[in-house]
Every structure is written in C-alpha cells, then in structure tokens.
Chain A
Amino acid sequence: MEQDRSDRLVAKGRVWYCRPGSNGAEFCQTGQKDSEPYDVTIIGAGVVGCAVAYRLSQYQVRVLLIDRNFDVGEGTSKANSAIIHTGFDATPDSLESRLVTAASRLWPQLAEKLKIPFDPISALLLALDQKQADQLGPLHQKALANGVDDVEVVDAAKARQLEPGANKNVRGGLLVHRESIIDPFTVSIAFAEVAVANGVDILFGSSVIAVEDANQTIKTIVDDNGHRIKARIIVNVAGLGSRAITQSHGGKLFDINPRRGQFLIFDKSHRGLVNRILLPVPTATTKGKLVTPTIFGNVLAGPTAEDLPPGDDTATFTTIEGLQEVHAAAARMCPTLDVLRPIATYAGLRCNCSQGSYIIRANDGHHGIVTASGIRSTGLTSSPALADYLIEQIVEHCGLSLRRDADARDSRPQSSWPGWCRRPFEDPEKIAANQDYGRMVCFCEQISQGEIIDALDSPLSPCTLDSIKRRTRVLTGRCQGFNCGVRIAEIISQHLGVPLDKITKRGPGTQWISSRLPDGVQPNGARAGGQP
C-alpha cells in the first residue's frame, strides 16, 4: 500500500474549477496574486493544448492551461473515431501529412510511457466493386509518397481471409500496418496529468472573452469569471472557439465551419465481427465511414461529414438521417451489423477551417501570440508532433528560451493504467488491501467502486459525471447507466462531500437532477405498515 501510494502521480501544479459566482476570487488569491505572469498560457485543453502543456512541462517555464469546460478534452477531442492514423492517405507534402506521419511513429512508445491503452491492429481498406479496386494502386502510390512504406495491396481471397465478417463481395484491399486504435479520452488526460505533476497550472470553467494589452510584452487575458490573467506568450489552440479569441486581439481572421460526425457504438458481444479497422475507398469529397473495433472492445461505425454553418459549436446532437446513413454504410462493409441495434450514439464536431487545415501562425497580429486552428480529425494522431512543432515556432519567433527541467517526468507510473484494462479485481493483494476493488458498480464494463474513487482522487481531481465516465468507463456499457447511474452519482457525492443535486454531468448548467422534493417529506422507506 505504501509503495503503491508513492507510485501515484502527485500534482505539483494547481488545478482550479471555476463555478458560477466564485468571481475568480479563488484563482486570484491563490493563483496569480503578487506572482509573476505566466511565461506561456495555453487557451484550450483539448488534445493539442494538453500535448503542448505536456511538452512544455519538460522545461523550466511557468505554464497555465485554460479551458471553458470542466475537464480536459471536453470539446472536439472527446468525439472522434479513436484511431491513430499513419497518414497514408493524406495530401503528400502538406504540414498535416508531415505531422501525422511523424506522430504515427512516436505513438507506440509514447502510449506505453503515458499508460494510454493502444493497439496497432492495422487497417484494411475494402474495395467493394471494380471501380474501387482500380483505385487501390493509386492509393498505394500515395501512401509511399507520404513515407508510409509498410502498405500492401491484397487480393479478394486474402481480404476475405483477413476479415471473415466483412462483405463477401470484396474485390480486393489495401492492408495498412500500424494503423492503430487508442483510448482517445486518456490521451488528453495523460498529457495533462504529467503536465500538472511537473508544475503546470490548469484553470477550468474559464471562457476567454478578451485579450487586452496584446501589443505589450505582458498581455492580459480576461475571462467570463472576471479573471485577469497575465501572460507573456499566448497559445491559442481553442479549437472551435479559436476564431473568437483571434478576433478579440485583432489577429488575422479565418472561418470555422464545424463539420459534424455521427457515430454508432455496438455492444462488446459483437467484437468478433471485425478484426481490424475497416475503411472504405475514399471518394473525392470524403474519407468515408469506417467500421472498427474500439480499444474498449466495442464495434464503432461512423462518421458522417456534415458541414454546419460557422459559429454553430454546440450542434453536437445526432440526427435520424445521420445515424441511418452511418448504419447503412456500416452494413455495406459488415453485413451482420444490419440486424444489430447500436447501444449508444454520439456526435462530434471537427474544427474545419475554410482556409485549409492546420493553420498555424506565430506572432499572429501581435508578438507573442501563436494560433493553431483547423486541426481536423487528424489532431488526435498529430498532437505530439504538432506540440513539438508549435514549441519550435514559439522558440524561434516569440523569443522563448527553454532550459530542460532535470526534475520533470515524462511518463506516468504503472498505477495510472485505466482500471478497465488492468482489472484490479484480478489481483488478490489489491482486494485484500481494499475490498472496494471487488465491489462492482458498473456491471456491463465490470468497474468497481475502488476504480471510481481512484479516478476521483486522480491528479486533475475531476468532479463531473462525464469526467468519471471517461476515466473509468462507467455509464458507457450496454445498459447506459440503467443499473449504475444513481450509484455513481452517490459515490461522487459521498466522496467529494457535495449534495446530489449539485452533481453535474459536465459543469455548471448541467446539474444532473433539477430539483429535490420539498423538505419535510418523509423518506419513502418509512411508510407506515410497510413490513408485514
């Protein structure tokens, strides 16, 4: 037990969650009062922002990470296809292609270091008619041009042998080794946890409304809680919110047309249907809808690609047309899916820029402001390489000098593996030390009370239902909270000492229950004459 505890990550940086009415008092008192301005302030704790914080935390710089949500990776980063791409089908020589290809080679080691569940299961691009089969050659050439040399064209018989569950009319395929599946939630969490362990501060629930004194060396970021945050260098990686920030300080504007992707999740009992990521042959307009196993053991199908009007960054709802379109496309690739019903659906918005992908500007409008936007669906893959690239830009153009921090860690300890992949109940010693690891709360995903409490005590001290869901997998199974929904809210409420009606799904405005019964009402169990 002693040893176990020293094996835990300890937060050196501070983490604040701003609630309405706090008016920034807590942050101003403990965070920035009388202290030096932050060297670098990163706006946006999505996967890119967290990766930048992680890489910067290896150096002796004071870094603050700000996000309007109540957890890392709450925006674009939480709803994607959870794949680490090789970049085999990117446009050769683009920045996106370079970063994706570079990052895809970093991931196997990085995932191991950061204890992110990761599996290089490879991908099979399926040609379902002759026209598509004719495209396999050119796609192979494109992969080679992108420096992805471990791709092979396979014939119909081989494709059927590799994927017995796929459409029997397959005419051939392109096998892409190294295409991998990953736990997308843990990516942002792991980056941020190491960053906080190395002294990076995080401010959640803080929506930036203006950047003042942008032309000065020390700039002021103003947020909706009334915080005035002093920063020398600002990195704007706010995803769908990045345009508003650029506009507020007078940088060169770009347009964001969110592109919605809807997904279907099928139950774990159907995991055997697909062995690897099944991709359709891309058309001129879209990469198409894939069918893939997830690292959690489900089958995932999607996404759609729906262009939404600019500024529509809350349109993360599903539509009947979108879901039916995905189901039909999935059934074309894997016919058995036709009769199955998904257990859950979700939709996410990709940060799609009309001016092109991966818009990166150092000294955007003013010295010391760096903007990165238009990071589309490849952001999850490219994040570590993109973070390095952004830091290079900052050093080169914004005059930041970096000295390594000898004490900084770049990995998470063994105890950080998510509970669902290390199954604490398998270990008799853990059960002997703490019976909570054998007290199952989530029956579908087999998650214990001990794992939920570990997640609540983890370095970012998460406090919302969704943040616990992403860390432990509770509420994500086939019953979608039928059995455990209330139990989980109770555990959070007890452990954090917060009343049940203050528990939120993902921050203020999302209180789980809207009201309690009036006081003075007898609890139901106390009904007279209840027991025979």
Chain B
Amino acid sequence: MSSVPFKEVKVAIVGAGPAGIGAAVGLAKRGVAPVLLVDRCSEGGGLPAKCHASRHGVPTFAVYTRSKVVHGRDFATRLLESLEGTSTQMSLETLVLDVDVAEKTLTLVNPARGKFSVSAEAIIFATGARESTAAERGWIVGARGAGIFNSMQLLELAGRHDALPGKNPAIVGSDLVAYSTAAKLKAAGADDVMMIDTTASPRAGRLVRLFFRRWVRPDWRGPTNLLEIKGHLRVEAISLGNGNKLPCDAVVISGQLQPNSELLVEAGLNVHPRHRTPVVGRGQKISSPGLYVAGNVLGGFHGAQWCYFSGKRAAKHVSTALLSG
C-alpha cells in the first residue's frame, strides 16, 4: 500500500469494509491502478473489525471459510492482509462530504489534509449499512432516558471497555444480529435477556437459534406491535401492546439494517425513498455512469463473505467498463 496523496485516481472506493476491500482486491488483480480506498473509521475492515470475540468465546461475527469458523476481527485482519502488496492506497479517518456525480469527484475531509477532493474515472460505493433507529421502526415509543443502546454501541462497550449496559436487558429485534447481541450480553454477565419483535416468531432461522443456544436462550416476548419504554431518568421497564409491563434496565435496539445511501440521495441519485436502497441496474451500476455499488448498501442483510464477493463482482464490472473505454 502506498501513501502519497493524490488528486486523481482511476477508481475511488468509499468504505473499507468487506465489500470495499473485495473491490480493491478485484481491481488490483485486474491491474487497475491507482485505486483509492477511503474509510471514515480509524481502522479498516468495516463491521467485522469491531467484532472482537468476547470472553467465553461468543462468536459475535462468524464467517465460515473452508469449513472453518473465523471470528469477525480475524476475518477483517485477513481481508486487510489481502490488500498488502497491492498498490491500493488506503485513507482512514476520511469522511466523504459530498459527491459530484457529473465530474465523478469526491469531497473528503481527514485530520491530515483537512478538506480536499479527489476525482476518479469510476467510484464504487461500498458504504454498508447501519441499524434502524427506534423512530424508524415506528413501533417503539416512550421515554428517552439513559439505558437505550444499539448493537454497535454494545459491541464497542463490551469490546473496548468491558462494560455491560444492563443486567436485565431487553433486545428489540430478532434477527442474526439480535441473537449475537443477546449471546454477547449473556456471556458478559447479564441475568435474563428478553427479546421482542413484531413477528410471530424470531426472524432468525432455526439454525441461527440453535447455534446461539450454547450461550443464550432469549426469553421471547413477541409478537407485539407496540413497545413503550418506561422510566424518566433511566430505563425501568418496557410495556408491550398486550398491556404486559416487563421490568428491565436497558433496551438494545438491534438489527434491521438500513443501507447507508445518504451520499447517493444527497448527490441526487435514484434511491427508494422509504427503504433507502439505491436503484441498481445491470453490472451494479447506479443511475449515473461510472458509479457502482457493492455490499450491504444494496439492501437486505448479507454476511461479510457475500459482501466481499459483491465487491469483487463490482471490480470486474468496473475494469471491463474502463477497458472498453
């Protein structure tokens, strides 16, 4: 990896998670250079990099490669290693402020250079996804005291500070992310973990539930179409649509990923207003020429490996397009 700052590159990749790294690896393999890979966090690797395997070994983020389980952080390390030896320039702590679609120019900011811009012949958006906020879900209301978290905060609190948000947490959401969050909380010392969602049964499939049984059997309290958070200063209880009031000391809003498509919206590109997924054409192209998307920004909920290959596919399309002129 080189580190000379430049203003013009062949391809700029936004987001150094599995999809962004996949794209960079794919481009390097095809000899496309120079490539700039930017990420707003202080380390590359995306979401898996934030997933330390906790004590008691809860695999918060597991990937199966060649029939072996790889934990999130190790997977991220491997991804980053695969970039070494390529000419990809990685710029961390670098936030994209603005995209000029016509000029294919990114306006960026980072500590070393302040505000600067980089133009490219093609841009790949591998911006990933975040969890929906309580308000976005539309069925979570009530007080706004202390003790309301999301899974990312929980991962960071547990990973970096060995801190536990609550002894009796309630998890809102029931997909894979919610289950691994529940397992992490339980392993970190929580007594009971409740799980609530709008669906008749947990969203996570039977295999996922079986897998996490070793650590946690969440107390399933769904389905409900309403969850009220009680407690003016701190979370004291939650109250469900059926009138049940359940004491708890933290609420973790989990899962239900939303694509990070805001850059595309602000650039005036075609994005579905409600689901916030970009409208994607053949070859992972979006509505403006030279712009591509890869990974979880496409919507849905995919594992790190899927994202990596999605990035690689985007790289293939980009290099074909660049070669054909």
Write the residues of chain A forming the contact surface with B, with a CB cutoff of 8 angstroms.
264-265, 267, 269, 314, 316-320, 323, 336, 339-346, 425-428, 430-432, 435-440, 443-444, 446, 478-483, 485-487, 490, 500-501, 504-506, 509-518, 521-525, 527, 530-532
A510 touches B188 (CB 8 A): no
Most interface-central of A264, A437, A444, A510 (chain B CB within 10 A): A510
Task: For residue B297, give the distance in angstroms from its CB to the closest CB of chain A.
Answer: 14
Task: For residue A531, give the distance in angstroms from its CB to the closest CB of chain B.
Answer: 7
The 3 A-B pairs with the shortest beta carbon distances in the complex, nearest first, are A431-B114, A435-B111, A486-B156
B189 touches A518 (CB 8 A): yes
Chain B residues within an 8 Å CB radius of A444: 262
Give the residue name and chain of the A residue nearest to B51 (CB): A524
How far is A506 from B143 in the complex, measured between Cα atoms in Å? Answer: 14
Identify 12 new A-B residue pairs, CB closer than 8 A, beyond the known A341-B138, A515-B167, A530-B73.
Answer: A314-B232, A316-B143, A320-B141, A320-B228, A435-B111, A438-B112, A439-B110, A444-B262, A481-B153, A514-B164, A514-B165, A524-B55
- Selected A-B contacts with CB under 8 Å, 29 pairs: A269-B262, A269-B266, A317-B142, A320-B139, A320-B226, A340-B274, A344-B135, A345-B141, A425-B109, A427-B114, A430-B114, A435-B111, A438-B110, A438-B112, A439-B110, A439-B111, A446-B109, A482-B153, A486-B152, A486-B156, A487-B156, A490-B160, A500-B163, A510-B233, A513-B165, A514-B164, A524-B159, A527-B53, A530-B53
A525 touches B52 (CB 8 A): yes
A317 touches B136 (CB 8 A): no
Most interface-central of B93, B161, B273 (chain A CB within 10 A): B161
Most interface-central of A319, A342, A486, A501 (chain B CB within 10 A): A486
A-B Cβ contacts below 8 A, count: 185
B232 touches A446 (CB 8 A): no
B120 in the interface, Cβ–Cβ < 8 Å?
Answer: no
How far is A432 from B112 in the complex, measured between Cα atoms in Å? Answer: 8
How far is A317 from B232 in the complex, measured between Cα atoms in Å? Answer: 8
B157 touches A513 (CB 8 A): yes
How far is A339 from B271 in the complex, measured between Cα atoms in Å? Answer: 13
B189 touches A481 (CB 8 A): no
B164 touches A515 (CB 8 A): yes
How far is A264 from B141 in the complex, measured between Cα atoms in Å? Answer: 12
Query: Chain B interface: which size bin?
Result: 35 or more
Specify which of A339, A446, A482 is in contact with B131 (CB 8 Å cutoff).
Answer: A482
Give the residue name and chain of the B residue nearest to A428 (CB): B114
Chain B residues 14-67 with CB under 8 Å of chain A are 40, 52-55, 57
Chain B residues within an 8 Å CB radius of A320: 139, 141, 226, 228
Task: For residue B93, give the distance in angstroms from its CB to the closest CB of chain A.
Answer: 6
- Encode contact with A along B156-189: 1 for CB under 8 Å, 0 otherwise: 1111111111110000000000000000000011
- Encode contact with A along B244-257: 1 for CB under 8 Å, 0 otherwise: 00000110000000
A517 touches B133 (CB 8 A): no
B74 in the interface, Cβ–Cβ < 8 Å?
Answer: yes
Chain B residues 223-247 with CB under 8 Å of chain A are 226, 228-230, 232-234
How far is A337 from B133 in the complex, measured between Cα atoms in Å? Answer: 18
A480 touches B133 (CB 8 A): yes
Give the residue name and chain of the B residue nearest to A465 (CB): B146
Given A341-B136, A479-B130, are A317 and B93 also a contact pair (CB < 8 Å)?
Answer: no
How far is A490 from B161 in the complex, measured between Cα atoms in Å? Answer: 10
B123 in the interface, Cβ–Cβ < 8 Å?
Answer: no
A531 touches B77 (CB 8 A): yes
B162 touches A516 (CB 8 A): yes
Give the residue name and chain of the B residue nearest to A315 (CB): B232
Chain B residues within an 8 Å CB radius of A516: 161-164
